[in-house]
Structure 1
Amino acid sequence: MTTPTTPHVPRADPHRTTPSGLLRARGLGIPFAGAPGTSNALTDVPGVQVGYVTVIDGNGPLETGRGPVRTGVTAILPRGREGLDQPCAAGTSVLNGNGEMTGTAWINEIGALTTPILLTNSHAVGACHRGAIDWLNTARPDLRDRWHTPVVAETYDGYLNDINGDHITTALARRALDAATGGAIEEGSVGGGTGMSCYGYKGGTGTASRLISHADVTYTVAVLVQANFGARRELTLAGIPLGRHLRGDDPLGAPRSPIPAGAGSVIVTVATDAPLLPGQCAALARRVPLGLARSGTTGSHFSGDLFLAFSTANPHALTSRYPTGEQAERLQSLCFVPWGDMDRLFDATVQGVEEAVADALVANTPMTGRDGHHLPALPHQQVLDLLREHHAAG
């Protein structure tokens, strides 16, 4: 079953539940620092749009090309459809390089992001790359003669999914982009996060946002995480090392698993409407591992941990071309937060990443995939009991 998901769905309390009614980490009672935005999501940054296509089909033994299938695509439009020709200041960072994020050489060269972002599984990067180009050429025929270097990032879902079966196609990548909109975002086993694991539990997609102020203006810093990393023993929530006390074995790293415990990857996108230089965006991306570390990971050798940050401010700067018909040379300028005032944005990034990982775990359900491989959901009651025991002891 292939499901395109439009995230904008009314809900009672977006900080506590997802659009489908799954509990988020705050709804479970896990405390976090910082003030979240309206939906506590990447789309709290004005103009940012997110869409999903989720593919879940079949059960039983793996038959390459037929399934079982547990995968998908997440699409991010940094400035929405209206801003496809307007670059964003951007920067990247890598914690461990056992993974792929296309388009980063050009981002690091010019300090700008000029295309959509797609997240998927490790062996679907090519289909999503081609699909993004096709979508851009259709959405903006006036850009057809330009070159495109889409950003496509991946994490490995082969424990549950028929990863070599070519189930992600260019058409599905285009559908995910078509589904992109603002508002509330579903979390857990959706989009590119469909077949992912996190700390030995069902992982996937998580998101969070924080409000900060500078010069009497309120800005948003928001993150979206595709979480597929961590060993059960490492898991930490609200600063408490719960993983070593949670009952049940970690299915990854068990004798029947081809994947070492802790292996996998994590892709994190950071967005803000605060005006930043490209180097300041890279500085935000470098803070992502601090938020991941709060969730317990030490960064596995077998993990691809890749991060991208962008700013939607300064919409008409960082362009490489003059407007049509304009021949005269000119200068460009950027407004930006002074480096000495960046700490509040660093705080917001770290806080948001920590919460987004927790959301990817909490807003989830068990999943069984190929060959009966199974990932349990985070046991909510056990987590609550351990948190209460810790606070009672403290």
Structure 2
Amino acid sequence: MQSPRRVRELGVVVGTLPTGPLNAITDVPGVRVGQTTITGDGLNTGVTAIVPDGWAQTLPAAVAVGNGYGKLVGSTQVDELGVIETPILLTGTLSTFRVADALLTWLLDRDPKATSLNPVVGETNDGHLSDIRRRPITPEAVHAALDTASAGLVEEGCAGAGTGTCALGFKAGIGTASRTTPAGQTVGVLVQANFSGLLTVLGRPVPAQPIDADGNSCMIVVATDLPLDSRQLGRLARRAIFAMGRVGSDYAPGSGDYAIAFTTARTPDFPDRDLRTPFQAVTESVEEALLNSLTMARTTTGHQARTAHAVPHDLIVQRPL
């Protein structure tokens, strides 16, 4: 039995930019993450909440869609206005709307005068390992994820919205990573990995038996404190989806591949000519976060006795040429 370990602990170093102190999305100042995990009785699912400080006053944001076979509640208003005005939540496909409703209740409780709110909720299909038709996410589960959000190290692998997900032939889940720029600013990402393809580590394939899963998708949340506007954040979000190809995604036709990027900096002031380093930061972070989602996961048996196996770490370390 192997213990979950991040890819850097296995000697796999992605890219050249330095990481933040936690190598996590929470390295971005003012960004917190909370999760609720639900397991047992045929269930492997949950909620992951990304809670930036200042969301109630809106933050610049953008959405990128690689393949739109999925649900990202609230995305059209983000596209239209270029801001988010709520935390961002992730869950399993058929629980999306229950989570959005519970988030709305949480928001209304905090603003008794609100008459219009735009909850942002994304999903991937965890029906391979969880009885997805039961839609087990309760308002209490959603509120717990929001209320316990912290700026500490994010639990990866079989946690929150990643409890029942699989990717690249193995058990996957939540992953996170970050990079810092020479000017001391940070790009951090969190992924909910649940997509098909051939696992590739630093350009080398890792053969795997494919999992016959019902859903193939990936949700990517990109946070930064760089003073970017919504157009520039859209460019960052597109690079996040590009980075899925680095780990072997086949971008299957049944996959919903989305990225949402936001900044905690309220006043945009960043020249396009200087975007090379942020682009590098987001692609490196997404690549490493996706690998972490795999190496931090545990072998899981769930609904209808289906099993998804954790990737053997020796395959990661001893990659074939």
Same-fold call, TM cutoff 0.5 = yes
**Partner deviation per Cα, 1:151-210 (whole Å, 9 max, x = no partner):** 000000111101011211222111111111111111001000100001111011000000
3-state SS of 2:154 partner: coil
The structure having more radius of gyration, on CA atoms, is 1
How much has 1:238 moved relative to structure 2?
1.2
Would you say the 8 A contact 1:251–1:374 is kept in 2?
no
1:294 aligned partner = 246
2:259 corresponds, among 301, 307, 318, to 307
1:366 corresponds, among 295, 299, 314, to 299
How much has 1:136 moved relative to structure 2?
1.4
**What letter matches 1:134 in structure 2?**
T
1:212 aligned partner = 181
3-state SS of 2:8 partner: helix
Residues 1:281 and 2:229 are matched in the alignment: no
Would you say the 8 A contact 2:43–2:302 is kept in 1?
yes
1:349 aligned partner = 282
Would you say the 8 A contact 1:55–1:72 is kept in 2?
yes
Residues 1:86 and 2:57 are matched in the alignment: yes
CA distance in 2, matches of 1:183, 1:97: 32
How much has 1:86 moved relative to structure 2?
1.9
Residues 1:379 and 2:307 are matched in the alignment: no
2:48 aligned partner = 74
How much has 1:84 moved relative to structure 2?
3.6
Aligned-CA RMSD value: 1.4
3-state SS of 1:152 partner: strand
2:111 aligned partner = 141
1:103 corresponds, among 49, 74, 78, to 74
CA distance in 2, matches of 1:31, 1:46: 24
3-state SS of 1:107 partner: helix
CA distance in 2, matches of 1:347, 1:146: 40
**What letter matches 1:51 in structure 2?**
G
3-state SS of 2:64 partner: strand
3-state SS of 2:200 partner: coil
**TM score, norm. by length of structure 1:** 0.78
3-state SS of 2:56 partner: coil
After alignment, is 117-126 or 375-384 more displaced?
375-384
1:187 corresponds, among 156, 173, 196, to 156
How much has 1:251 moved relative to structure 2?
3.0
Would you say the 8 A contact 2:173–2:293 is kept in 1?
yes
How much has 1:226 moved relative to structure 2?
0.2
Residues 1:26 and 2:19 are matched in the alignment: no
Structure 2, unaligned runs of 5 or more: none
CA distance in 2, matches of 1:31, 1:84: 33
Give the number of equivalent residue pairs: 318
CA distance in 2, matches of 1:175, 1:76: 13
**What letter matches 2:24 in structure 1?**
A
Identity %: 38
CA distance in 1, matches of 2:111, 2:85: 16
**What letter matches 1:251 in structure 2?**
I
- Is the alpha carbon distance of 1:384 and 1:335 closer, same or farther for their aligned partners in structure 2, counting shifts above 3 Å? closer
Would you say the 8 A contact 2:169–2:199 is kept in 1?
no
**What letter matches 1:116 in structure 2?**
P
Please show how residues 202-241 of structure 1 align to structure 2 within 5 Å.
Answer: 202-213=171-182, 217-231=183-197, 234-241=198-205
1:319 aligned partner = none
Shift >4 Å, 4+ stretches? none
Would you say the 8 A contact 1:127–1:173 is kept in 2?
no
Q: Which has the higher contact order (CA 8 A, sep 6+)?
A: 2
**What letter matches 2:111 in structure 1?**
P
**Partner deviation per Cα, 1:17-58 (whole Å, 9 max, x = no partner):** xxxx73101011112112100100011000001000000012
